[in-house]
Structure 1
Amino acid sequence: MAERISGKTQLIGLLGTPISHSLSPKMHNEAFAKLGLDYVYLAFDVGNEQLEDVIKGYRALGVRGSNVTMPNKVLVKKYLDKLSPAAELAGAVNTIVNDDGVLTGHITDGTGYMRALVEANVDIIGKKMTIAGAGGAATAICIQAALDGVKEISIFNKKDAFFDRAEQTVQDINAKTDCKAQLFDLDDVDALRAEIADSVIFTNATSIGMKPYVGQSVVPDASYLRPDLIVSDVVYIPTKSHLLGMAEGVGCETINGLGMMLWQGAKAFEIWTGEEMPVDYIKELLF
């Protein structure tokens, strides 16, 4: 790393909390080194309270770009100059690029999730999925799945600040795509059981299962699952969340969050650098 950093090295950041577990710095720095690109990627433990000041600092310092993760994906759009069409529709941002002081927000979570399914030889086009979560990543996944041709999506979330936004997501999907979307209260366990029973895939797109919620699951117990159900989780540390452990015990095919993390990162890498990430090299190195 010391040999690579120069007076011309451009900074790319990662904003979120907690953040020390993230594999993104290693992934991107190894990719920069492999391609000989003069960038460095650093993680910053930043929550909503510091976010506005940090974005002002990015602009003042000429930082090339950033990833944004929980809990900042929704709030950060307030402090940017422009949003990509996908970020506008999702109402969330996970990637920022700075072009001569103009900060544009993108969302790559949805494309990353769908590409991860393709890489796992899982086809959900024309089929039904049930998903837990209504935050930035969950919203991006739902919108991309609908745009790509998923037939029906049942969204579950607690009646918190994200629930109202999820109602808007459902309206957008139903109005702008051929997909049928519905929203349910995550505390309605009977509805959760019924919707999972009618789906080919169940996805956890909440932070339940990672720190500080390790050992917890959005699904109350394994009786909600069945052997021919595919179960995926956006959580990648631990690589086997409690949900995926339960699913394996039932005989389900499982997919953790590593693939989504890789492919959303690859798209962000391309946005910042104009180059394709050496994905096969990164897979070998990290996974």
Structure 2
Amino acid sequence: MITGKTNIVGLMGDPVEHSMSPPMHNAAFEHLGLDYVYVPFNVKKNALGEAIKGAGALGIKGLNLTIPHKTSALKFLDVIDEAAELIGAVNTLKFDRGTITGYNTDGLGAVKALEEVIPVKNKNVVMVGAGGAARAVAFQLILSGIESLTIINRTPEKALKLKNDIKSQIESNISSGSLEILEKELSGADILIDTTPIGMYPHDTDIPVANASMMHSDLVVNDLVYNPLETVLLKEAEKAGAITVSGLKMLLYQGAEAFKIWTNKKAPVDIMEKTLMELL
């Protein structure tokens, strides 16, 4: 039951109707008996500053931010976490005694998903894509101590730009290139991460970025697309005997990190995952 004591957290984005975060978080709050509620707010780009200020005035405890607000929110914050500052984007806000702090749990979610099956420290990683998700994951991987990172993109200039941007901010063993070098790079890789939308429903029969003949059985393959749960890329990885990690895991763990930031309690990951699976 919502009362005058209920703590409010939520999501700001445009659109937000499709988001699975409200049911995931509300199931977690209910399971732990916490007097919290998670509410989606559709906020247009030009109203973000007013919305964040208003959230603070209303006593809202925390927010998630999604498209198109992750970058533009930075100028409205008092404190920015190290990873979020490097990435240049935030997806989680905490309101505490008049101070608004911004975090980015996307990259952390991706790393935690991988570490269910393999420690990322000292590993050689190949990442396909050079957009916002790739940037968040790349910085978090480097902060987590990987050995090397190769960024591959259909437009190699974009991969090069991301590589140079990362190297200008943090010491790292990082290279870039086009899809033509993917097979060669995979031969010595421990982890492949696809950050592109290739294979996302309803385009779930797209040709994947890599096929089984390009992979090997010691490879861990993570596709950030979570609908469908088993993408064309993950099906190819299974044919090669590789270990697969669904994009649902990143969604789950980025949410679990936000939950901990807001409540100072460990998230009930099993309950959150069960809710997501039911939604899909």
Which residue of 247, 253, 259 maps to 1:257? 247
Q: By how many angstroms is 1:111 displaced? A: 2.2
Q: After the TM superposition, which residues 110-189 of structure 1 pair with which residues of structure 2 at under 5 Å, given as runs?
A: 110-119=107-116, 121-157=117-153, 158=155, 164-173=161-170, 175=171, 179-184=172-177, 188-189=178-179
Q: By how many angstroms is 1:165 displaced? A: 4.8
The 8 Å contact of residues 23 and 275 in structure 2, kept in 1 or not, is answered as: no
**Given the alignment of the two structures, is residue 27 of structure 1 paired with residue 24 of structure 2, yes or no?**
yes
Q: Which runs of 5+ in 2 are unaligned?
A: none
Q: After the TM superposition, which residues 136-285 of structure 1 pair with which residues of structure 2 at under 5 Å, given as runs?
A: 136-157=132-153, 158=155, 164-173=161-170, 175=171, 179-184=172-177, 188-210=178-200, 214-216=204-206, 219=209, 221-285=211-275
Counterparts in 2 of 1:19 and 1:250: CA distance versus 1, 3 Å: farther
The DSSP-based 3-state class of the residue aligned with 1:124 is coil
Letter in structure 1 aligned against 2:121: I
Counterparts in 2 of 1:135 and 1:189: CA distance versus 1, 3 Å: closer
User: In 2, distance between residues paired with 1:7 and 1:279?
Assistant: 28
**Given the alignment of the two structures, is residue 63 of structure 1 paired with residue 60 of structure 2, yes or no?**
yes
Query: Percent identity, aligned pairs only?
Result: 42
The DSSP-based 3-state class of the residue aligned with 2:260 is helix
Runs of 4+ in 1 over 6 A off after TM superposition: 159-163
Aligned to 2:93: 96
Counterparts in 2 of 1:214 and 1:152: CA distance versus 1, 3 Å: same
Aligned Cα root-mean-square deviation (Å):
2.8
TM-score, length-normalised on structure 1?
Answer: 0.83
Counterparts in 2 of 1:222 and 1:79: CA distance versus 1, 3 Å: farther
Counterparts in 2 of 1:249 and 1:69: CA distance versus 1, 3 Å: farther
Map Cα deviations across residues 103-133 of structure 1 (whole Å, 9 max, x no partner).
Answer: 21101122222222222x2233212101123
Alignment coverage as a number of residue pairs: 276
Q: By how many angstroms is 1:285 displaced? A: 4.7
Q: Which runs of 5+ in 1 are unaligned?
A: none
